[in-house]
Amino acid sequence: MIRALFIAAALTGSHRSLPAFAGCLPTAPQVRPSALLVNCADGTLFLAGLRWSTWGGDEARATGVARRNDCVPDCRTGRLTSRRVAVRLYRARTCSNGRREFTRFTFMYLGAAETSTFKSPFYSGAGCP
């Protein structure tokens, strides 16, 4: 039983030391989220089905699908298109509450040279929200 407690404590501590990512959800940072919202204001672009191959202190990497709403004729009835993407989270910073968060993410459409880099929209640069 004591051994099980030591194992549980070790797992809890290591999980807590992993950086999280808040993105558009500043009050709910997550470790290894299955989706990331890219366009926070209108939700017309999001990354879904994320499968994380790496999640560490310096960076996190995943592959998934970018889903974009073309908003034609309007966003409510627009068509969703999908493209495979590679995602990278990086530049972990320590928040004022001691939690670590990735503050940048980039994604690249697989099979294309196009890359987009984003600053986590709610990261203030002076501690996390």
Mean pLDDT (the chain) is 79
Q: How many domains is the chain built from?
A: 1
How confident is the model over 50-62, as pLDDT tens digits? Answer: 999 999 888 999 9
128 domain-assigned:
no
How confident is the model over 65-92, as pLDDT tens digits? Answer: 999 999 999 988 999 999 999 999 998 9
When computed from its CA atoms, the radius of gyration of the chain, rounded to whole angstroms, is 17
Nearest-angstrom CA–CA distance, 101 and 117: 17
Residue 123 confidence class, pLDDT cut points 50, 70, 90: low
10 domain-assigned:
yes
Nearest-angstrom CA–CA distance, 35 and 11: 24
127 domain-assigned:
no
63 domain-assigned:
yes
Q: Which domain holds residue 23?
A: 2-119
Whole-number pLDDT of residue 65: 96
30 domain-assigned:
yes
43 domain-assigned:
yes
For the entire predicted model, the pTM comes to 0.76
